[in-house]
């Protein structure tokens, strides 16, 4: 797998040669826009909003709209003047606790893989981060853009997480959220019971992209010339939200308890089937 970035991870006077490799992969289905009459691919043209005519690339410039309909035109020289040199060092500026970081800051993860000669220093930093439950915070320039970055440990890997800057987060005060005073104690108790009944260790493998699976099923069927019939999903009535909250909680708890009983019964049956059958003792005359 190709490296996204090569450089060194630095804390104090220690420099660790590393390479950043992608830690996630996109798994989406791509579609082309086609002309319905002959299924030819549709091309996109850059059209001038004033006269509706296509505009060639050599006549296109970039502009910053500072007021409605008013622009500051930016040249290649302007972008060069603002560009930052591609950094070859990610210097850890601070160490913080992971639970102090708002999850909204995290954006894209990369594995930091040690380059030749950096294995021992890499292991040293990894173990220090583990035992102190710390996350390193610094800044790095990748692809001519500066990023806030976090360095943390997942298993045996040091992971670089590109982060959002503070000004990129929307302040929660911009919205109105319901007060806790709206919740009655008995409702809260039942909700807590429902949460407890659904509690399970996190296992990401059990959650699958059903929409993608359905799309691929339809695509494969159409490739074979089969006709697809789609059933309309059942929808809740429009006034479902105004139903009594307590009745919903009670019904949910009832269903979960029923599921739990069925699971326990199934386990007992399975356990009983695994026990060896007792031999009957015959009396001798």
Tens-place pLDDT, residues 103-112: 999 999 999 9
Average pLDDT over residues 213-238: 78
Q: What was the pLDDT predicted at 233?
A: 65
pLDDT in tens, 121-174: 999 999 999 999 999 999 998 877 889 999 999 999 999 999 999 999 999 999
Q: In whole numbers, what is the pLDDT of the chain averaged over residues?
A: 84
Dihedrals phi, psi of 10, to nearest 5 degrees: -120, 135
Other Cβ atoms less than 10 A from the Cβ of 16: the count is 24
Residue 281 is classified by DSSP as P
Rounded Cα distance between 101 and 152, Å, is 12
Asked whether residue 280 carries a pLDDT value surpassing 70, the answer given is no
* Percent of the chain that is helix, strand, coil (3-state, to 5): 35, 25, 35
Domains assigned to the chain:
5-25+83-168 (2.40.290.10), 180-200+245-268 (no CATH)
Asked whether residue 278 carries a pLDDT value surpassing 50, the answer given is no
What residues contact 22, with CB distance under 8 A and at least 6 apart? 1, 4, 110, 111
Look at residues 106, 117, 215, 82 and name the one whose alpha carbon lies nearest to residue 159.
106
H or E element, residue 220: helix 210-223
Rounded Cα distance between 245 and 190, Å, is 10
Asked whether residue 84 carries a pLDDT value surpassing 80, the answer given is no
117: alpha, beta or left? (left if phi > 0; alpha if psi -120 to 50)? left
Asked whether residue 281 carries a pLDDT value surpassing 50, the answer given is no
Q: What was the pLDDT predicted at 212?
A: 87
Structure tokens at 189: 């108790």
> Angle, nearest 10°, between helix axes 185-197 and 245-274?
30
Q: What was the pLDDT predicted at 110?
A: 96
| Better-predicted residue by pLDDT, 267 or 78 | 78
Highest mean pLDDT pick, 4-18, 58-72, 179-193, 213-227 = 58-72
Look at residues 160, 152, 106 and name the one whose alpha carbon lies nearest to residue 133.
152
| Exposed/middle/buried for residue 153 (C-beta within 10 Å: 0-12, 13-18, 19+) | buried
């Amino acid at each position: 797998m190709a490296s996204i970035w090569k450089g060194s991870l630095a804390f104090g006077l220690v420099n660790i040669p590393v390479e950043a490799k992608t830690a996630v992969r996109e798994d989406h289905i791509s579609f082309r826009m086609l002309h319905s009459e002959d299924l030819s691919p549709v091309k996109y043209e850059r059209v001038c909003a004033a006269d509706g005519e296509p505009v060639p690339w050599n006549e296109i410039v970039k502009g910053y709209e500072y007021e409605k309909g008013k622009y500051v035109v930016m040249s290649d020289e302007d972008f060069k003047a603002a560009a930052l040199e591609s950094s070859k060092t990610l210097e850890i500026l601070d160490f913080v606790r992971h639970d102090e970081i708002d999850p909204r800051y995290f954006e894209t993860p990369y594995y930091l893989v040690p380059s030749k000669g950096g294995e021992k220093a890499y292991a040293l930093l990894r173990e220090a981060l583990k035992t102190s439950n710390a996350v390193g915070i610094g800044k790095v320039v990748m692809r001519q853009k500066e990023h806030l970055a976090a360095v943390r440990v997942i298993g045996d890997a040091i992971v670089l997480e590109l982060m959002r800057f503070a000004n990129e987060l929307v302040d929660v005060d911009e919205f109105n959220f319901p007060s806790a005073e709206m919740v009655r104690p008995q409702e809260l108790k039942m909700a807590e019971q429902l949460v407890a009944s659904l509690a399970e260790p996190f296992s990401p493998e059990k959650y699958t992209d059903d929409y993608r699976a359905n799309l691929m099923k339809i695509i494969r069927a159409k490739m074979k010339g089969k006709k697809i019939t789609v059933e309309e999903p059942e929808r809740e009535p429009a006034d479902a939200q105004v139903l009594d909250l307590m009745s919903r909680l009670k019904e949910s708890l009832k269903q979960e308890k029923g599921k739990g009983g069925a699971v326990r019964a199934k386990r007992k049956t399975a356990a009983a089937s695994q026990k060896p059958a007792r031999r009957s003792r015959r009396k001798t005359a």
